[in-house]
Structure 1
Amino acid sequence: MIVAVPAPELITDPGDERVADFRDLHAGDRPAGTARGTGPVIVEGVPAVERLLASPYPVRAVFGIPGRVSALDLPPGVAAYEADKWVLSEVIGFRLTRGVLASADRLPAPDLDALISGPDPAAPRRLAVLEGLNDHENIGSIARSAVALGIDALLLDPHCADPLYRRCVRVSMGHVLTLPIAVLGDWPGGLDRLHDAGYRTVALTPAEDAVDLTDVDP
Structure 2
Amino acid sequence: MADPLTLHDPDDPRLHDYTDLTDVQLRRRREPAEGLFIAEGEKVIRRAVQAGYAMRSMLLSAKWVDVMRDVIDATPAPVYVVDPALAEQVTGYHVHRGALASMRREPLPAVSDLLRATPAPGRGEGTVRRVAVFEDIVDHANVGAAFRNAAALGIDAVLLSPRCADPLYRRSVKVSMGAVLQVPWTRLESWPADLGTLRAEGFTVAALCLSDRAVTLDELAARKLGKLALLFGTEGTGLTPGALEAADEHVRIPMDAGVDSLNVAATSAVVFYVTRPGPA
How does the TM-score come out when normalised to structure 1? 0.88
Moved more, 156-165 or 110-119: 110-119
Contact 1:59 1:103 in 2 (8 A): yes
Question: Which residue identity does 1:22 align to in structure 2?
Answer: Y
Give yes or no for the alignment of 1:42 onto 2:38.
yes
The runs of 5 or more residues in structure 2 that have no matched partner are 120-124, 225-280
Determine the structure 1 residue equivalent to 2:78. 79
Determine the structure 1 residue equivalent to 2:99. 100
In 1: Cα distance, 2:28 partner to 2:151 partner: 32
Q: Secondary structure at the match of 1:198?
A: coil
Determine the structure 2 residue equivalent to 1:188. 192
When residues 54 and 122 of structure 1 are mapped into structure 2, their CA distance, relative to the original with a 3 A threshold, is closer
Contact 1:127 1:151 in 2 (8 A): yes
What does the per-residue CA deviation read over 1:61-119, in whole Å, with 9 as the maximum and x for residues that have no partner?
11121121342222231211111110110110111111111111110121321111223
In 1: Cα distance, 2:28 partner to 2:131 partner: 33
In 2: Cα distance, 1:18 partner to 1:61 partner: 9
Question: Which residue identity does 1:38 align to in structure 2?
Answer: A
Determine the structure 2 residue equivalent to 1:23. 19
Q: Secondary structure at the match of 2:62?
A: coil
Instruction: Give, in angstroms, the shift of residue 212 of structure 1.
Output: 3.4
Instruction: Give, in angstroms, the shift of residue 194 of structure 1.
Output: 0.4
What does the per-residue CA deviation read over 1:134-188, in whole Å, with 9 as the maximum and x for residues that have no partner?
1111000000110001211111111111111111111111110112221111111
Determine the structure 1 residue equivalent to 2:61. 65
2:164 corresponds to which of 113, 138, 160: 160
Aligned length: 213
In 2: Cα distance, 1:177 partner to 1:196 partner: 27
Instruction: Give, in angstroms, the shift of residue 30 of structure 1.
Output: 4.2
Give yes or no for the alignment of 1:212 onto 2:211.
no
In 1: Cα distance, 2:66 partner to 2:25 partner: 28
Contact 1:118 1:125 in 2 (8 A): no
In 1: Cα distance, 2:174 partner to 2:86 partner: 21
Contact 1:152 1:179 in 2 (8 A): yes
Contact 2:4 2:79 in 1 (8 A): yes
In 1: Cα distance, 2:138 partner to 2:174 partner: 16
**Which structure has the highest helix share of the two?**
2
Contact 2:2 2:77 in 1 (8 A): no
- Percent identity between the two aligned chains: 36
How does the TM-score come out when normalised to structure 2? 0.70
Moved more, 132-141 or 185-194: 185-194
Contact 1:7 1:70 in 2 (8 A): no
Contact 1:29 1:166 in 2 (8 A): no
Moved more, 20-29 or 140-149: 20-29
The runs of 5 or more residues in structure 1 that have no matched partner are none
Moved more, 109-118 or 143-152: 109-118
When residues 76 and 214 of structure 1 are mapped into structure 2, their CA distance, relative to the original with a 3 A threshold, is same
When residues 141 and 102 of structure 1 are mapped into structure 2, their CA distance, relative to the original with a 3 A threshold, is same
Q: Secondary structure at the match of 1:150?
A: coil
